[in-house]
Amino acid sequence: MASLGGTIAMTPTGQGVVPTKSAADLVEGLAVGEVVTLATTPGASLTFDTLLTALDWAKTQVERGARGVVIVQGTDTLEETAYFFDCLWPFDAPVVVTGAMRHPALPGADGPANLAAAVTVAGSPNSSGRGCLLVLNDEVHAARWVRKTHSSRLDAFQSAPAGPLGLVAEQEVHYFHPVAERFGALSRPSAVPSVALLEATLGDDGSLVRALRVDGAVVAATGVGHVSTGMADAIAAAPFPVVVASRTGAGTTFRRTYGFQGSESDLIARGVLMAGWLCPRKARILLALLLGANASQEQLADEFEKRGSIW
C-alpha cells in the first residue's frame, strides 16, 4: 500500500487538519505487503510527476508478484487519479485507489473502513482484469465512470449512468458485472503538457479560449456538446487540439443530431474532437497523457473515439 496523503492521513492543527500520517500509521491492524509513504500532500496539490512515481511503485509491486496494489490519497482529485492510472496500467492485477471523506479526528471517520475494503478488492481474484478501481463507502467503481458528486457526504462518489461495479460485504467483493474489455495501456508521457479545462456558459464569446497559451484544451460544453457561436469560432481558430465534453455530469456528446453553428456537428466539421461518454475531467487526463507522449492528431482522434465509447 502506498500513501500520497489526503484527508485519510490528516491530523488536527491549530488552523485545521493537515496530512501528516504515514502509510504505516494507516495500515495498523491490516494484513498488507509493502507499505510506503510517497507523499503527504492534499489531493488538490498532487501533480502528474507524483502520480508517475506512484505508478512506478505500483508496477514494481506487481512485477514482484503482488496480486494487486492499493494507493490512498485525497478525494478532491481521486476520480482523475483513477483514470490516470487506468490509462497507463498494463497489468491484469488491479490498482485500487481510495481515500476518506471524514478526517480521522471526526466521529465516524471512514478512512479505516475504506482502506480495509480497498485491500479486500485488491486481493480478490475477481478483480483481475478490471484496471484501476476506486473503492469508497463499500462500493467499487470503474475509473472511467466514477465522479465525485458531493463535497462532503460519505456516498460522494457515483458512476452515472453505469452504476458501481460491485460491493464489499463480509470482507468479500461481489461484482455485478463481468470483466469488461480494456484498451491497451497508453505510452508513458515524456513531458507534462499544459492542458486547460474551460466551461461553456451563457453569453460566452470565446475570449477565454482565444487568450489561452497551452498545449491543448477541453471545453465542458452545454448539453450534448454545444457552445456559442463566438466560442465555436474561437475553438476553430485555436492553434492547439480542443476536445469538447458535456458539462452535465452524465450522458454522451452527440455527433450528428444538431446542425446549428456551435452544435456538435458543426464542431466536428471544424476538426474538434468529441469526448463521448468521458466527463470533462477524464477527457483532460486523456488529452494530457496523449500530448505528453507526442501523439499525432490521428492518434488523438482514434483514442478519443475508442475510449469515449460505451463499448
**Catalytic residue ranges:** 7
Calpha distance 189→295 (Å, rounded): 10
Can you say how many angstroms the Cα of residue 86 is from the centroid of all Cα atoms in its chain?
Answer: 8
Nearest to 134 by CA among 89, 94, 180, 91: 94
- Measured in degrees and rounded to the nearest 5, phi and psi for residue 4 equal -110, 0
Query: 181 - beta bridge partners?
Result: none
Please, how many CA atoms are within 13 Å of residue 188, restricted to the half-sphere of its CB? Answer: 10
Rounded to a whole number of angstroms, the distance between the first and last alpha carbons of the chain is 31
Question: Of 217, 274, 224, nearest to 246 (Cα)?
Answer: 224
What does the alpha-carbon distance between residue 73 and residue 208 come to, in Å, rounded to a whole number? 32
CB 165 within 8 A of CB 176: yes
The C-alpha atoms of residue 285 and residue 302 are separated, in whole angstroms, by 16
- Give 120's Cβ-side CA count (13 Å radius): 21
Q: Residue 80 — φ and ψ, nearest 5°?
A: -75, -45
User: C-alpha grid cell for residue 267?
Assistant: 464542431
